[in-house]
Amino acid sequence: MEIHAPALRARKERRRNLALRQHFETAQALLKPLLGDPNNHNGTAFYRAMNTLQKTFPNLSVSEIEALVAAVVRSVQTRASNP
């Protein structure tokens, strides 16, 4: 009797800016103290987060910095809701 594994399809990459992926871990480590508590997500915390990333990654555009902050926020929120 021969068992066939289901055909594995390659996932289509949906991200547009793959260069940001290499900065995500560093951004997450830097921003976790600022954005670690979802109750503290306010304008001041987001401003500090963006400012921190601009100093760390001066070659990134404002929209790329915003995308990294949003990704870290999503990550924090996902982990907070799934302990």
22 belongs to a structural domain:
yes
pLDDT of residue 5: 53
Q: In the prediction, which pLDDT does 66 show?
A: 94
Residue 3 lies in a domain: no
Total domains, the chain = 1
33 falls within a domain: yes
In a domain, 66, yes or no: yes
End-to-end CA distance of the chain: 43
Parts of the chain with a pLDDT under 70: 1-17, 79-83
Helix axes 43-56, 21-35, angle to 10 degrees: 140
Asked if residue 36 is part of any domain, the answer here is yes
Q: What is the pLDDT of residue 38?
A: 75
Contacts 24+ apart (CB under 8 A), 14-20: 17/64, 17/67, 20/60, 20/64, 20/67, 20/68, 20/71
